[in-house]
Amino acid sequence: MACVSTTIAFANQKGGVAKTTSVASVGAALIEAGQRVLLVDMDPQGSLTFSLGIDPEDVETSIAEVLLGKAPVTDAIVISDEGLNLVPATIGLAAAEESLVSMTGREQRLRVSLAKVADDYDWILIDCPPALGVLTVGSLSAADEVIVPLQAETLSHRGVGQLLDTIHDVRQFINPDLEIRGVLATMYDGRTAHARAVLAAIEETYGLTVLEPPIPKTIRFAEAPAIGRTILSTAKSHKGAEAYRQIAQVLIASLKPAKKNPAKRKPVKTK
């Protein structure tokens, strides 16, 4: 039985909630655990690309060219210094988004492109932009699951309802099998009653699972992208790195037995 990759979109229309940090750190933790991982930067700001040590201005082929049908996804994949496979983004993705609005199959283009490399990976993690536009809808259409990174503050969770409405529409019209894996609490300070109350309110109000453990607040997360790395290599034993390792283990534990069979693995693309 062949391996089938799991695609997870990290989505929240609010910026500054550690979507990019979570995609990079979960990806690095999965790599540490022996998994094959592809990261996809769907944000025109290219934050994931930059944080992994790749200058968007030096990128020859990006996700923009893939979505517009100008290049196959295999031509866009680059390898970070930390060994992460990435489909990078550049500012050209903003113009591509405008073009996609009038193009046939715009919501399905990412899904179709990623399907061509799905057998090469156990996990495909998508960093969605902080908006509920064409790029986020396309990401949700390509995904099997959604994780919602969320800062444990009142203002941060006010937009959850809007995101859930978008997910509902994607399920109804495009991707009926899309599941919500849960909320990932980021920049979490468990010493405050407010942070704990916000997570409880999310679970009660929206019926969403809160993934454990929450990701602690630390300056280490801001320091790592400055040298193109994740916290798993810059502060290996830090509690923030350990938290992402535990999240990765939660994901791996959900894999079907067939996906753990190394005999069926294909080599990861290298350059």
Q: How confident is the model at residue 265 (pLDDT cuts 50, 70, 90)?
A: very low
The pLDDT of residue 159 is: 76
Tell me the average pLDDT across 69-98: 96
Residues 216, 241: contact at Cβ < 8 Å?
Answer: no
More confident residue, 258 or 93: 93
Percent of the chain, pLDDT > 90? Answer: 74
Q: Where are the domains of the chain?
A: 7-253
How far apart are alpha carbons 98 and 231 in whole angstroms?
Answer: 34
Per-residue pLDDT tens digits for 106-116: 999 999 999 99
Q: Give me the pLDDT at residue 197, please.
A: 85
User: Average pLDDT, stretch 77-106?
Assistant: 96
190-215, pLDDT tens digit by residue?
778 888 888 888 888 888 999 999 99
- How far apart CA 51 and CA 223 sit, in angstroms, is 10
Mean pLDDT of the 6-35 span:
95
pLDDT higher than 90, residue 20: yes
Give 155's pLDDT tier (boundaries 50, 70, 90): low
Segment 27-39, tens digit of pLDDT? 999 999 999 999 9
> Could you tell me which residues come within 8 angstroms of residue 93 by beta carbon, excluding any fewer than 6 positions away?
42, 43, 44, 46, 62, 63, 64, 67, 135
**For residue range 130-150, what is the model confidence (pLDDT) as tens digits?**
999 999 999 999 999 999 999
**Domain 7-253, CATH among 2.60.120.380, 3.20.80.10, 3.40.50.2020, 3.40.50.300:** 3.40.50.300
Assign 266 a pLDDT band (cuts: 50, 70, 90): very low
Q: Cα–Cα–Cα angle for 25, 196, 51, nearest 5°?
A: 20
**8-state DSSP, 71:** S
State how far the Cα of 20 lies from the Cα of 129, in Å rounded to an integer.
Answer: 9
